[in-house]
Structure 1
Amino acid sequence: MEDTFRALRIHDDEIPPFPQPLVYVPKPLGELFRIFDPRDAPLIGPPPVSHTWAARPKAVRPRATMSSVKNSKPYDEEDAEIQLLYAQARKYGEFVKKLEAARERINAIGASIEATAGPVNGLEIYRETQALRATNQNVNRVLEQLSIVQRPLEGKADEERIIQDGPERVGLTKYLASIRRLDSKCEELSTSTARVNQEAAEQLNLLAISGKNRLLAMWGDLLQADKLEPLQYITKGGSFPTFDRNTIAQLVEIYNFFSTSAALGGPSIDQAWSKYAKIRGAYLQSTLTNLSAATLSTSTQPSPNGPELYRQGNCLIGTYAEGMNLAFFAEWRNISEISPKNHQKTMENTAAESLMELKDTISQLNSQIQQNITTDCFLAYDILGAINEMAFSIDKQTGCLKQQIFAAVKPIRDTAKRSLGDLLEDIRRRISSMVFLPNDGAAIPFTDEVLTRLQAMTLYPLPLASILSSIGDGNWTSSSSNKSSSSLPTIRSHDTSSDSESLLARYVFDSIDNLLTNLESRSTTLHKNSRVTGVFMLNNIAVIDRMIRSSDLSQLLGNSSAMKQLEDKRKKYIAAYTEAWREAGFLLLDVQYTNRGQRPPSGSAASTNSAAIVKALNSKDKDAIKEKFKNFNVLFETLGAKHRELMPAMERDVRADLVRDIRAIIEPLYVRFWDRYHEVDKGKGKYIRYDKPSMSNQLASLA
């Protein structure tokens, strides 16, 4: 028995110590062998010398994050730590072998005790056997834990090699699979409280985050592109290029990975989209910057005669807007291919830099327009027309960016609204500042200038419809337009409906009426002659009518009451001019007394028998007839001479209209008077200077 217990003697550095008596004293095995629980055993380092197997406090190290990746140890230090783990694992293997040898010796001791003790100590042997079985189970658990300690770092070297090679060399699919495996191991180890598992999880997490950062860099490389020359696509009517199918496939695969790995540390999908907006936004801005510069350089056309009326198309704002439309739509297609949802915010962020440049360009153009509002206001209408059309087109295609575009052009829109009142005020101001008008009543060049402005307005129906709708009918004076609502254009205002056309027609006629009212007031002050004022106004109306009928103003005003009002004004001034001729016609009216004899029927031979009529007159009546002829001749010749003085300045239509009305007044009365009383002169020509043919010729010569 002593030899048997002597065989149990083992060194302290091999297994935990047990009582080792020199003589056999029967004791329960629970006192001989302390129950060993491997879950309380330290997992790293050799057993403590004090032989105390109480469990150490379990240290829990924090999991690696993005910041820990940036501050992680170099790879050489990581390799040293890994080698230390491998050395400790080998030491645990040797320890396992010793534990197995000890278990075999314990089993042998149990069999020897059972053989020597006999039936007398059977109960005590049973108890000691149960304790040995518990010890055996504890040893098995220790072995299991040791195998778990060795498991976390299995395959780390292969994953590390894949991460170091990068997705370009190993292939994107294989690279993503490696990162997913690392994430999976980190999730598995994070549930364990063992310090070695926590350290292994941290190392693997650092490696996974390093791989994700490299993946984000690849995402950025795929988004890179050289700037385009947009005119090559605009002039050919083509669309801007998008990503090829291979690039789209890789971007989609990376996008899907980031969308599902956000909770595992490393770059998120928001960071990926932020990188997209930054890279692609710079690409869009560099592509469109030349169009912005071209727009500014073509907005001003230097002229030796000072500012001239802006003509549609002189500025390349339309080309700029078309290029922006094509560029934004191509980028929208790229984003939609990568992600079928949640892409409006990305599109807005991507276009932000280009829209900021558009806003700067609009600001510079607005300053120029404000300096020459009466000539460059049409540039404002051109800009609004091009940009509004682009905004509605982009909104129809993408469902976003419309409000941002409208906000960029708001300064131009406010200036355009104010220009409508400024143009009316300019008419009043310039006419009131005129110190002289043509003495012959000729039309002034300013009338042609005003009508040229109104003709130019018909080229911008959409922007003017939007502006006039926001101002309101009749609220286009300078003061009211400045105070009017600055609401952005709507789809309702972006049309050429009858309501919009009627608003523009009313504004055009208000401009014409304002022009004529101020011209008449100024002519009355300077000419001080109703006859000259009438010819002056008729000449200007003739210019207005001709310019209306020779342009799109005829379609704009044709269905409105404007033309009728203009015709009423023309008739008014014709009546004012022919008033003096009516006085001459009154001299050809005679008095017939029906009580002095039977009045011959009108149109009968007796009514035109001048000899009989004159013979029937007394001397006083004959003298009165002679005086009428004499006064008529003087007045007719005076009016004819004054008319001929003004004829060179008269517009052709004015001369024709005036002569037609003069003949309608004079010729019927003169023919009748001559037929009745020409015998009073007896053909001497003393009182009657014109017979019927010569009077007709005289009247015709007035034209």
Structure 2
Amino acid sequence: MTAGLTSAWQLADEEARAEVDVLNSRLEKTTQLTKKIQVCLGKLEATGKSVHEVAGPLNSETRRLQTLGHNVYSVLAAIERLRQPADSRNDEEQIIRTGPDKIGLQSYLASAKRLNKTLVDMQASNLRVNQQTKADLSRLVKSANSQLQGYFQKLLRAETPRSIEPLHYITKGMPFPVLPQATITPLGLIRAYVTNNESASASQTSSLAKIYSEIRGPYLVSTLANLSAASVNTAKKRNPEAIYRSGTNGIGTYAQAMEGLFLAEHENICSIFDREDWRLIFRSTCDAAVAELARALRDLNSHVKTNLNTDCYLAYEITEIMSNLSTNLEARTGELKTSLAAALRPVRETAKTSLAELLEDTNRKAGNIQMLPVDGASMPLVSETMQRLQTMAEFLRPISSIMISLGDGGWKSSSVANGRSTDAIPSLASFDIGADGKQIFAHYCVDTIESLLSSLYQKAQAMLRGGQGVLGVFLANNVFVVERIIRDSDLGPLLLDRLGALEQWRKKAKALYTAECKDVSAHLFDVIHTSKHRPASGQPDSLSVVKSLSSKDKDNIKGKFHAFNTSFDDLVSRYKSYHMEPEVRQMFARDIQQMLEPLYTRFWDRYHEVDKGKGKYVRYDKTSIGAVFISLY
């Protein structure tokens, strides 16, 4: 059994050895195969390097040849394009020579654009070929631009009349005419071509603007010429003393026509030209018309300065009308404010200085009075001055503006009074933002009235020799004339709450006049004591009072009655000789009655029996003297 186990183990060992031999044999073959593969890879790598060394230069040369071929084709194409202008030049030249009016603007512009593009392309090229073609194209482009400029002028002139009748549009409320759309369209196309044309110079664009202003500017001037002349002519008066009345001068219609024409012209310009050109073209088109306006305003200003007392109101009206024109045009166009302000400047300065000059003129007239009415009547200068203030109130809007620019009390400034104001164009810095022009004008009116009454009072003190009574009547008459005109005119709303100054003058007048009444009343005072037989009722019994008097006292009472009669009759006589305004008569009659009647009634009740009813000393009883007082009203 042991031998059998050994034999089996030997057999297994031999089989294992045989398998190992087989594996070793296979490993040897694999090693040999690996070596062969490595040798092959080395050979393949060496071959690849050789191929790369050979193929690299060939690839670079191929790319260079491809670039050269592309350049050759590009040169050939450029040459072909350069030959095209010469080939088509004759056709385009024929169109240009025919002109836009015959060939049609659209076709003409298309041809001009093609020529322009071709010329730009040739000028951008670095090839120095076809120099003659380039010169010919440049000549054709310039010819096209010139013809388009001429066509622009022809179209515009054909639609621009020498003038139109502005009153036709104003009276019918019609807008002023603009260029028809059939003309606007081609003008706009020409302007757009010139603006967008790279070969066109800036001067060609400005030439169209110049053409426009040179054609439309004279049209504006001619249309407004008659209204300009009418504005100056309507300032002339048959009666040199006539006060100017609002709306009687043609300046309002002139400004209305100018506004309508300018707005229509601005609409034309906006439809034809680029936005950045609107301002300069509009101003250059309107410059001549504004210059003519300035000339007319200078003529009107000379007229106003010559007739300041009667025509200063025209300066106020012009100031308002021109200010409104400037504001309206500024709002609609953004232009001409400075030009219109410069044109208005002389008139506005006259309007400003007139306030001080008129006040000074009033004082000068009062100072030059050579004679005052002996009956105390008011002076015509008072009515004249108040009439002037009343008329100024009718121009309150422009005067308020002028007052604000002057400032409260500014009419007292020596620079304004002497006409040396340098405020050409008012700015915000020259205004009190919170100022009320109406209130400042009211201050001016009060200053004028106060100065007038003060001057007249001083003159009356020196010239009236009839005593304080006539001085009081004279002053009161003038005060009440002033007050009546204020209450019955447009000055009322401005000055009624400022009549305190007049009240002071009225009190002064009453004090002057009633001084004479005090002299009369002095005869009615007595210092006689009649304590004996005094009536128990408290009412004086004249018979008892007189009986209690001594002869000397009776004679004294008789003398007082006689003196009163004389002075009272003289007072009444002088009172009736005075010329009094109705309000003054009422006031003084009331003052005389209130001052004298109670005193005389008391005196008469006590002493009338001294005359024993004969009327020798006691001329008036209570009824008759009351009738005299009533007759004074």
Query: Same fold, TM exceeding 0.5?
Result: yes
1:645 aligns with 2:552: no
**8 Å CA contact 1:261, 1:268 repeated in 2:** no
1:523 aligns with 2:523: no
Count of aligned residue pairs for this structure pair:
561
CA distance in 2, matches of 1:664, 1:141: 125
Counting aligned pairs with the same residue, the percent is 40
**8 Å CA contact 1:344, 1:400 repeated in 2:** yes
**8 Å CA contact 1:298, 1:316 repeated in 2:** yes
1:674 aligns with 2:604: yes
Residue 336 (structure 1) aligned to one of 251, 270, 287 = 270
Q: Which structure dedicates a bigger proportion of its chain to helix?
A: 2
Query: What secondary structure does 1:578 align onto?
Result: helix
Matching residue's letter, 1:551: S
Matching residue's letter, 2:99: G
Q: Which residue does the alignment assign to 2:301?
A: 366
Q: Which residue does the alignment assign to 1:578?
A: 514
Structure 1 position 142, deviation (Å): 9.6
**8 Å CA contact 2:301, 2:350 repeated in 1:** yes
Structure 1 position 667, deviation (Å): 1.4
Pairing of 1:603-642 with structure 2 (within 5 A):
605-642=537-574
**8 Å CA contact 1:216, 1:272 repeated in 2:** yes
- For each residue in 1:146-200, what CA deviation from the matched residue of structure 2 results, as whole angstroms up to 9, or x when unmatched? 7555322122222222222322233322222111111110011113344543321
**8 Å CA contact 1:219, 1:251 repeated in 2:** yes
CA distance in 1, matches of 2:102, 2:355: 66
Residue 690 (structure 1) aligned to one of 620, 625, 629 = 620
1:495/1:341 CA distance change after superposition, 3 Å? farther
1:298 aligns with 2:225: no
CA distance in 1, matches of 2:75, 2:332: 67
Q: Which residue does the alignment assign to 1:537?
A: 475
Structure 1 position 573, deviation (Å): 0.8
CA distance in 2, matches of 1:138, 1:623: 152
Pairing of 1:122-201 with structure 2 (within 5 A):
147=80, 150-201=83-134
1:558 aligns with 2:558: no
- After TM superposition, the structure 1 stretch with the greater mean CA deviation from structure 2, 433-442 or 182-191, is 433-442
Pairing of 1:337-486 with structure 2 (within 5 A):
337-339=271-273, 341-342=275-276, 343-477=278-412, 479-481=414-416, 482-486=419-423
Structure 1 runs not aligned, ≥5 long: 1-135
Query: What secondary structure does 1:152 align onto?
Result: helix
1:147/1:180 CA distance change after superposition, 3 Å? closer
1:618/1:492 CA distance change after superposition, 3 Å? farther
- For each residue in 1:182-231, what CA deviation from the matched residue of structure 2 results, as whole angstroms up to 9, or x when unmatched? 11100111133445433212211221221122212222233331111111
- After TM superposition, the structure 1 stretch with the greater mean CA deviation from structure 2, 279-288 or 255-264, is 255-264
- For each residue in 1:599-624, what CA deviation from the matched residue of structure 2 results, as whole angstroms up to 9, or x when unmatched? 87xxx843243333334444444443
Q: Which residue does the alignment assign to 2:32?
A: none
CA distance in 1, matches of 2:231, 2:81: 71
- For each residue in 1:272-309, what CA deviation from the matched residue of structure 2 results, as whole angstroms up to 9, or x when unmatched? 22222222222111111111111111111132xx4433
1:541/1:678 CA distance change after superposition, 3 Å? same
1:654 aligns with 2:584: yes
Structure 1 position 491, deviation (Å): 8.5
CA distance in 2, matches of 1:470, 1:356: 26
CA distance in 2, matches of 1:353, 1:421: 35
Matching residue's letter, 2:135: E
Query: What secondary structure does 1:606 align onto?
Result: coil
1:175/1:142 CA distance change after superposition, 3 Å? closer
CA distance in 2, matches of 1:143, 1:399: 57
**8 Å CA contact 1:548, 1:554 repeated in 2:** yes
Structure 1 position 487, deviation (Å): 4.6
Matching residue's letter, 2:206: D
1:669/1:138 CA distance change after superposition, 3 Å? closer
1:512/1:262 CA distance change after superposition, 3 Å? farther
1:326 aligns with 2:264: no
Query: What secondary structure does 2:524 align onto?
Result: coil
CA distance in 1, matches of 2:75, 2:225: 71
Matching residue's letter, 1:614: V
Matching residue's letter, 1:373: L
**8 Å CA contact 1:470, 1:487 repeated in 2:** no
Q: Which residue does the alignment assign to 2:485?
A: 547
Matching residue's letter, 1:671: T
**8 Å CA contact 2:473, 2:513 repeated in 1:** yes
1:599/1:389 CA distance change after superposition, 3 Å? farther
Query: What secondary structure does 1:409 align onto?
Result: helix
Structure 2 runs not aligned, ≥5 long: 1-68
Residue 312 (structure 1) aligned to one of 246, 265, 282 = 246
Matching residue's letter, 2:471: T
CA distance in 2, matches of 1:251, 1:145: 37
Residue 184 (structure 2) aligned to one of 248, 258, 272 = 248
1:592/1:258 CA distance change after superposition, 3 Å? farther
Structure 1 position 473, deviation (Å): 1.5
Query: What secondary structure does 2:371 align onto?
Result: coil
Structure 1 position 654, deviation (Å): 1.8
CA distance in 2, matches of 1:438, 1:697: 29
Query: What secondary structure does 2:410 align onto?
Result: coil
CA distance in 1, matches of 2:134, 2:534: 135
1:146/1:236 CA distance change after superposition, 3 Å? closer
CA distance in 2, matches of 1:143, 1:663: 128
**8 Å CA contact 1:520, 1:537 repeated in 2:** yes
1:333/1:497 CA distance change after superposition, 3 Å? farther
CA distance in 1, matches of 2:106, 2:79: 34
**8 Å CA contact 1:587, 1:632 repeated in 2:** yes
CA distance in 2, matches of 1:446, 1:337: 60
1:698/1:158 CA distance change after superposition, 3 Å? same
1:501 aligns with 2:435: no
Structure 1 position 352, deviation (Å): 0.8
Matching residue's letter, 1:550: D
- After TM superposition, the structure 1 stretch with the greater mean CA deviation from structure 2, 460-469 or 476-485, is 476-485
**8 Å CA contact 1:534, 1:577 repeated in 2:** yes
Structure 1 position 138, deviation (Å): 12
Residue 222 (structure 2) aligned to one of 282, 286, 289 = 286
CA distance in 2, matches of 1:402, 1:651: 52
1:480/1:607 CA distance change after superposition, 3 Å? farther
Structure 1 position 265, deviation (Å): 4.3
- For each residue in 1:386-416, what CA deviation from the matched residue of structure 2 results, as whole angstroms up to 9, or x when unmatched? 1111111111211211111011111111122
CA distance in 2, matches of 1:386, 1:314: 13
Structure 1 position 139, deviation (Å): 11
CA distance in 1, matches of 2:201, 2:113: 12
Coordinate RMSD, CA, aligned:
3.1
Q: Which residue does the alignment assign to 2:449?
A: 512
Structure 1 position 432, deviation (Å): 1.9
- For each residue in 1:80-100, what CA deviation from the matched residue of structure 2 results, as whole angstroms up to 9, or x when unmatched? xxxxxxxxxxxxxxxxxxxxx
- For each residue in 1:410-450, what CA deviation from the matched residue of structure 2 results, as whole angstroms up to 9, or x when unmatched? 11111222211111121122222222122222222222222
1:142/1:332 CA distance change after superposition, 3 Å? closer
1:498/1:193 CA distance change after superposition, 3 Å? closer
Structure 1 position 340, deviation (Å): 6.2
- After TM superposition, the structure 1 stretch with the greater mean CA deviation from structure 2, 258-267 or 429-438, is 258-267
CA distance in 1, matches of 2:170, 2:113: 45
CA distance in 2, matches of 1:137, 1:507: 94
Query: What secondary structure does 2:539 align onto?
Result: helix
